[in-house]
Structures are given as C-alpha cells and as structure tokens.
Amino acid sequence: AGADFDLFRTTEEHDMLREAVRSLAEAKIAPFAAEVDEQGRFPHEALEALQGSDLHAVHVPEEFGGAGADALATVIVIEEVARVCASSSLIPAVNKLGSLPVQLSGSPELKAKYLGALARGEGMFSYCLSEPDAGSDAAGMKTRAVRDGDFWVLNGVKRWITNAGVSEFYTVMAVTDPEKRSKGISAFVVEKGDVGVTFGAPEKKLGIKGSPTREVYLDNVRIPADRMIGEEGTGFATAMKTLDHTRVTIAAQAIGIAQGALDYAAGYVKERKQFGRPIGDFQGVQFMLADMAMKLEAARQLTYAAAARSQRVSHGGAHEDLTFFGAAAKCFASDAAMEITTDAVQLLGGYGYTRDYPLERMMRDAKITQIYEGTNQIQRIVMARNLP
Ligand code: CAA
C-alpha cells in the first residue's frame, strides 16, 4: 500500500530537481522572457542554459547518453521553465515530442544515432504530423513517401511545426499506402540538411512568440530506407502513442504558466494599496486567489497522476490507462491555466493589461495549451473512447 500512496507526493530527488531548475530558470531564462516575447526571437540563452545543465532533453535514457529523467522529472523541468518563460519550455517539451517516436519504435541504430545526437546537444527534434488540411483529422494527411530501391522519397507540406528551422531533426509522418488510411501511414526521421527540405515564413502568433512555428516543405526528399521508424504502416499508431505521453508535457507547460501568474498576482495584491489598505485584505480578492490556487493544485495532481501512468508504460505497464490520463491532464490543466492567467490579469487591473507586467504574456501563452497536441475538443473524444 505504501507504494500506491507514493503517487500522491514527489520524492526528495524530484523536489531537489525542482529547486535546481527553478533557480536556473530565474537566473538565466526569466531575464529574457519579456524580450523574447516582444521581439519574437528564439530564446538561445535558454537553450544554452538548459544544455549546460543537461536539461534540454532530460527524457533521453542514460543508455543513449541522456539524463534519463523519468516522466515526472521531465514534467517538473518543463513546469519550472514555463513558470518564467513558456516559449523556452518548448525546448525540453518538443525535444521529447519529436524524439519519442524514435525512442518508442525506432531500430537500435536509429535510437543510438538520433537520441545520442539529441542528448549531446547536436540538434533539437521537431514533430511533423499536422498539415494545412489535416489538423484534428491527422490520419487525413496527404504527405507521401514512395519507396525507390534503398530509399524513400518524401513529398508534401507539414504545418504548425514547433521549432521548425531551429531543429536539426524531424519526425515526419507520411502516407506509404493511400488505400489503408491510418494503417497506411509510416514515420521517418528527416534531417534539416536533407536536400529538398525548406521552411515557410514564421507564423505571426498570439503567444509563445519565442518558439518559431513554420511550415516544413518536403520536395523530393530522398532518405535512406533505414530512416523509417518501426515497421511500414505503424507510423500513425506511433504518432498517437507519442501524443499520449507528451500531452502530459503540455499539461506541465500549462501548470507552469499558471503558477507563474499566481505567484506574481499573489505578490502584487500585498503591495498594491487602494482604499487605504493592500487590496489583498479584501475578501473578494482573497476568494479569487483561493480559487486560482485550488484549480492549479487540482490540475497539478491530475498531471502528476498522468506522469505516473506515462512512467509505468515506459516500464512495460499497459498503455490504455495512459491514453485517458494524458488527454484528461492536458485538457484540464490547459483550461485551468487559461482561467488562472485571465484572473491574474484581472487582479492587476489596468497594469495587468499592459506589457510592463508579465501577466498579459502569460495569458497569451496559456491559450496555445488548449489548442496544440490536439484541441481540447479532440481530447474529449479521446477521453470518451478510453473511459477509465
Ligand atoms: N495509442 C495507440 N494506437 C492508437 C491510439 C493510441 N492512443 N490512437 C489510435 N491508435 C491507432 C489504432 O491502432 C487505430 O487502429 P485500430 O482501428 O486498430 O484500433 C488507429 O490508430 C486509428 O485510430 P482511430 O480510428 O481512433 O483514428 P481516427 O482517425 O478516428 O483519429 C483522433 C483519432 C484521436 C481524432 C486522432 O486523429 C487525433 O488525436 N487527432 C488530433 C491530432 C493531434 O493531436 N495533433 C496534434 C499535432 S502535434 C502538435 O500540436 C505539434 C506541435 O509541434 C506542438
């Protein structure tokens, strides 16, 4: 019974990791967060700081030279980075999303080559599933891969690709048998330097402005056949299994952003005086803070419960349980983050609405967590199909 109860608290190692990442994030990432947002530039200071501490792709197992963080430790890293800068938290998060297909289904050679390169900081990894006309209906993709001797030739357009252009490596899902819909999709590793790979103009977004989102164009990209991840026709299942794990990391971003907003607002109401006293003395303000903290804690507990499922799967546990929990954590935590950041702006009044304070940025950054890695409407479909 003791082991079951352990689910409800973090270990001392996890707590120490949180402290270490929090001080790194406050010293090396927070100072650039406003500038990165304002200028819409990649947070290279964050990449350097995270790589310097081996936190840029913490999930990579030790056997491939990675830090070997478990699913909860990965959540904690993402959470603490997102607390100060959501754009920077996409470095460890998208490195996991992009590389997990290789880790779950790749050949030993692919794992050694690409997980090793990722762990050593030789390049980041992006994930290419969505297309201009295939978002929620991911299996409706058009990108084609055709076999040619010892090669596959890829043609198509991938859209909404996080960190496109800055990443060296791309997991690309493509149709290898158009007759079979989801069973005719295969996954491949494509490199930025492969001939025929180019990128669209960066999207002009509401938030996460420091993380470039671009189209990826594949124009007769000819790659060796051993770059296929797993068996032909298993690419869609691999892509979905990956999302089951990484939706937990989106939940982590959401609770990190929400914690940042709550911390800031809770400090502000103690200083801000109106009617002769700090506004935090008023019960109307206290009730708002109480609701924000309650929702955040509920979201965090669900996220950690999902991380525990993700970890069990990595150790041979059943996958079904994770599908519901990953979707539920992502959906619940992102909705909570949107509410909490909106209320935090409200607590600062007119100041909250200006760029002189970080809360409007946090509110804009929170919005994407309700959309990417499957909209919250899609999460409800996934939950309904996989009720616990
Ligand atoms: N685990 C393992 N296999 C799975 C699976 C899962 N969770 N879900 C589906 N599969 C497999 C199954 O083998 C299934 O075949 P069976 O019939 O044998 O069971 C096959 O895939 C097809 O599954 P469905 O019939 O359920 O497929 P569907 O077309 O109805 O789609 C969906 C299901 C849940 C709607 C799916 O399309 C989906 O998740 N859509 C949202 C896509 C998404 O999240 N996109 C985000 C892109 S990533 C991103 O945002 C980029 C970024 O950079 C941040």
Percent of the chain with pLDDT over 70: 98
Kindly state the tokens that stand for 241.
């299994």
Q: Is the Cβ–Cβ distance between 234 and 187 less than 8 Å?
A: yes
pLDDT band at 2 (very low <50, low <70, confident <90, very high): very low
The answer, yes or no, to whether any atom of ligand 1 lies below 6 A from the CB of 323, is: yes
Residue 9, pLDDT score: 78
pLDDT digits (tens, 9 = 90+) for 177-225: 999 999 999 999 999 999 999 999 999 999 999 999 999 999 999 999 9
Residue 6, pLDDT score: 57
Residue 207, pLDDT score: 98
CA angle 354, 82, 30 (to 5 degrees): 65
Percent of the chain with pLDDT over 90: 95
Residue 314, pLDDT score: 81
Please say if the pLDDT value at position 317 is more than 90: no
Q: Residue 168 half-sphere exposure, CB side, CA atoms within 13 Å? A: 11
pLDDT digits (tens, 9 = 90+) for 84-143: 999 999 999 999 999 999 999 999 999 999 999 999 999 999 999 999 999 999 999 999
Highest mean pLDDT among 1-10, 50-59, 315-324: 50-59
Q: Could you give the C-alpha distances from 172 to 89, 142, 211, 342, in angstroms and in order?
A: 22, 12, 19, 36
Interval 315-325 mean pLDDT = 85
Please say if the pLDDT value at position 3 is more than 90: no
Q: What does the alpha-carbon distance between residue 354 and residue 356 come to, in Å, rounded to a whole number?
A: 5
Phi, psi (deg, nearest 5) at residue 261: -70, -40
The answer, yes or no, to whether any atom of ligand 1 lies below 6 A from the CB of 130, is: yes
- Those residues with Cβ within 8 angstroms of residue 388's Cβ, 6 or more apart along the chain or in another chain: 321, 324, 325
The overall average pLDDT reported for the chain is 96
The answer, yes or no, to whether any atom of ligand 1 lies below 6 A from the CB of 82, is: no
Residue in 94, 83, 72, 68 with CA at minimum distance from that of residue 21: 83
- DSSP state string for 164-225: TTT-SEEEEEEES-GGGGGGGEEEEEEETTSTTEEE-PPP--SS-TTS-EEEEEEEEEEEEG
Please say if the pLDDT value at position 5 is more than 70: no
Please say if the pLDDT value at position 145 is more than 50: yes
The answer, yes or no, to whether any atom of ligand 1 lies below 6 A from the CB of 182, is: yes
Phi, psi (deg, nearest 5) at residue 355: -80, 0
Residue in 137, 156, 153, 134 with CA at minimum distance from that of residue 145: 153
pLDDT band at 315 (very low <50, low <70, confident <90, very high): confident
Q: Please report how the helices 320-347 and 359-368 are oriented relative to each other, as an axis angle in degrees rounded to 10.
A: 150
Q: Ligand 1, residues 182, 253, 324, 365: which to mutate, most atoms within 8 A of Cβ?
A: 182
pLDDT digits (tens, 9 = 90+) for 152-166: 999 999 999 999 999
Nearest CA to ligand 1 atom 53: 162
Strand pairing report for 169-175 and 125-128: parallel
Q: What does the alpha-carbon distance between residue 26 and residue 42 come to, in Å, rounded to a whole number?
A: 18
Q: Is 45 a catalytic residue?
A: no
pLDDT digits (tens, 9 = 90+) for 239-258: 999 999 999 999 999 999 99
166 C-alpha to ligand 1 centroid (Å): 27
236 C-alpha to ligand 1 centroid (Å): 7
87 C-alpha to ligand 1 centroid (Å): 26
**ipTM, two decimals:** 0.97
Partners of 217 in the β-ladder? 157, 198
Residue 243 CA: nearest ligand 1 atom is: 44
Residue 139 CA: nearest ligand 1 atom is: 29
Q: What is the CA radius of gyration of the chain?
A: 21
Q: Is the Cβ–Cβ distance between 128 and 197 less than 8 Å?
A: no
Q: What does the alpha-carbon distance between residue 78 and residue 92 come to, in Å, rounded to a whole number?
A: 7
